[in-house]
Amino acid sequence: KKGKHVSVAVADAGIGMSYEVKSQIFTRFYRAEESRTTAGYGLGLSIAERIIKAHGGRINVDSEQNVGSTFTVILPAYNKKK
């Protein structure tokens, strides 16, 4: 938690993504060529982004090919009043 926001980052040491892939991954039904051997419809990240935005947050991705990717979700902090 930093100030008025809470962030969660998830990282992997996978194949990473090119700039072209990274710029499209939140588009509905988009599937990178490398992922076409795995079942799916290309909706997961699009849905996640919509839910996060509906809660006033954002999701970012940082990725480097042959190094891995880090997804960071940033949401407004909720301060319960006593």
Give the per-residue pLDDT at 42: 87
Give the per-residue pLDDT at 82: 63
- Record the pTM: 0.83
- CA dist., res. 64 & res. 78, Å (int): 33
Q: Is 16 helix (H, G, I), strand (E, B) or coil?
A: coil
Read off the pLDDT of each residue in 52-74 and give the average, rounded to a whole number.
97
Q: Is the pLDDT of residue 3 over 80?
A: no
- CA dist., res. 45 & res. 49, Å (int): 6
Q: Is the pLDDT of residue 39 over 90?
A: no
Which residue type is seen at 70?
Answer: T
- CA dist., res. 73 & res. 62, Å (int): 12
Q: Is the pLDDT of residue 81 over 90?
A: no
Cβ count near 76 (within 10 Å): 11
Q: What is the CATH number of domain 5-76?
A: 3.30.565.10
Give the per-residue pLDDT at 2: 64
